[in-house]
Structure 1
Amino acid sequence: MMLMKDGVEAQMKVEQSPGVLILQEGSNSSLMCNCSTIITSVQWFQQNPGGPLIALFYMTSKPQEKGRLKSTISTKDRYSHLYIRDSQPGDSATYFCAVKHSALLTPAACTETRAEDLTQPPEGEQGP
């Protein structure tokens, strides 16, 4: 996304980490969305394989919580966290953050999150 300020182009970067997150069922984790400039709001979305985008949170200042999900924002420090508590198989999805700076909405890289039973070896791998 290119921003214009006083006729000068500046690149606005939005990064989300980790890129892939594999959780053991019942564990807790978080995703982070970072922006290279001060932000005014953050949106978090979830998308199940083959499904539509589901809006989870829209935040401008205060933390929000929905069930086992919680999101925080720091507009000054240019980041937002999405926390997943007591992960369940239904949490397996791709999560997206989008940030707003002035009138611009910039999508970030996404995080694929899978909640799996890690007591079993991953597909294609043999146990000892």
Structure 2
Amino acid sequence: MEKPLRTSLVIMWLLLKWVSCQQKVDQNPPFLSVQEGENITINCSYSDQNSQGLQWFRQDPGKGLTLLFYLASGSKGEGRIKSTLSRNDRHSSLHITASQPGDSAIYLCAVDAQ
């Protein structure tokens, strides 16, 4: 299980470097372990105030990336998962309510460069 995780993290790092170009993107926490039923919040901050939007992706073990949300501003939600974006603060959050074992995945944000 450790080897696929390392591979996924390398892919995530390369994707963030490719998408962000000269932009700095920080995602916190980098690793999260929670009990079933707990609420989860993952934060994403970026440096370029001219960004056009932000995307949240999910990657299940052994699979490719799945787009969860694209936000230009405001918030979007689907079921227990919601995302918000404040372009003024250059910050986005991904919220998962009442986590379940099936939520186990790698989540990452990517910022559209202008």
The TM-score range, normalised by the shorter chain, is 0.7 to 0.9
Asked whether 1:100 is paired with 2:85, we answer: no
Higher strand fraction (1 or 2) = 1
> Matches of residues 40-119 of structure 1 in structure 2 within 5 Å?
40-102=52-114
Higher helix fraction (1 or 2) = 2
Unaligned runs of 5+ in 2: 1-16
Give the TM-score taking structure 2 as reference length: 0.78
**How large is the RMSD of aligned CA atoms in angstroms?**
1.7
Identity of aligned residues (%): 48
CA offsets per residue over residues 107-128 of structure 1, 9 Å max, x none? Answer: xxxxxxxxxxxxxxxxxxxxxx
Q: How far has the Cα of 1:11 moved from its partner?
A: 4.0
Which 4+ residue blocks in structure 1 deviate beyond 2 angstroms?
A: none
CA offsets per residue over residues 64-89 of structure 1, 9 Å max, x none? Answer: 00110000001111110000100000
Give the TM-score taking structure 1 as reference length: 0.70
Aligned length: 95
Structure possessing the higher radius of gyration over alpha carbons:
1
Name the aligned partner's letter for residue 32 of structure 2: L
Q: Of the two structures, which has the highest relative contact order with CA contacts closer than 8 Å and spacing of 6 or more?
A: 2
